[in-house]
Amino acid sequence: MLLRDVELRDVDAYVRIRCDPVMMAELGGPLPQAGIRERVRHDVAAALADTAWIRMIVPDPAVPAVVAGSVVLWTQESEDAPFSEIGWMVLPEFQRRGLGKQAVRQLLQEAHEEERWGEVHAFPSTTNVASNAICRTLGFRLLGEQDKPFAGRLLRANHWVVDTRDGLT
Ligand SMILES: CC(C)(COP(=O)(O)OP(=O)(O)OC[C@H]1O[C@@H](n2cnc3c(N)ncnc32)[C@H](O)[C@@H]1OP(=O)(O)O)[C@@H](O)C(=O)NCCC(=O)NCCS
């Protein structure tokens, strides 16, 4: 497995990740396809500018065009102070192989090495067994539940945090 920056050719992967009812079941339902191409352009620019880490999960390094999902670390603006947030998605045919956890671990390790992101927050929905398992087993601390806005909706989420200045468990 390797992580590579998002590229313009990843539109199909974005559509499969964000516009599919199964993939988005824990995230309030599928997003419309209109706007996805623009979203990819926006993300490629952000990755190039290094304002966010937007990585595609490539299961076989010999075939970088085949993508299993994504893992993203960005600065979330908020009414209080901005904070670092991480999110992840793995396509159905690649799930339950450890790829999601490996990808999150790798990005957090990079964050630790660059000493850049400080405390990183994650907000999986309370019913998302796999994502909550990823947080729990990678050393995140559970701070509690909260209603979390996502793509114009409100989700009931667990609030997890890990300090990337510390080593990973
Ligand atoms: C959540 C998601 C990223 C997990 O990715 P994955 O590659 O399948 O996860 P992994 O194989 O790395 O498994 C991680 C942990 O979850 C557990 N797990 C995975 N799928 C599970 C399932 N369907 N039910 C119960 N546990 C599950 C694994 O056993 C593992 O736990 P462990 O480390 O204690 O053994 C993936 O299922 C997904 O993208 N789902 C749809 C979108 C989504 O929910 N995104 C996350 C939003 S926060």
> Ligand 1: distance of its center to the CA of 24 in Å?
13
| Arithmetic mean of pLDDT, 121-125 | 96
Q: What homologous superfamily does CATH list for 2-163? A: Gcn5-related N-acetyltransferase (GNAT) (3.40.630.30)
How do 141-150 and 83-90 pair as beta strands? unpaired
How confident is the model at residue 152, as a pLDDT?
81
Q: Which of 61-65, 92-96, 134-138, 141-145 has the lowest mean pLDDT?
A: 61-65
Best of 95, 127, 150, 159 for a ligand 1 pocket test (most atoms within 8 Å of beta carbon): 95
Domain ranges of the chain: 2-163
Q: Which residues have C-beta within 8 Å of that of residue 36, sequence separation ≥ 6?
A: 11, 14, 15, 18, 19
How confident is the model at residue 61, as a pLDDT?
94
How confident is the model at residue 169, as a pLDDT?
67
Classify the phi-psi angles of 81: left when phi > 0, otherwise alpha if psi is within -120 to 50, otherwise beta: beta
Q: Which residues have C-beta within 8 Å of that of residue 113, sequence separation ≥ 6?
A: none
How do 83-90 and 119-122 pair as beta strands? parallel
Q: What is the pTM of this model?
A: 0.95
> Ligand 1: distance of its center to the CA of 95 in Å?
7
- pLDDT tens track for 151-162: 788 899 999 999
- pLDDT tens track for 91-102: 999 999 999 999
pLDDT higher at 97 or 168:
97
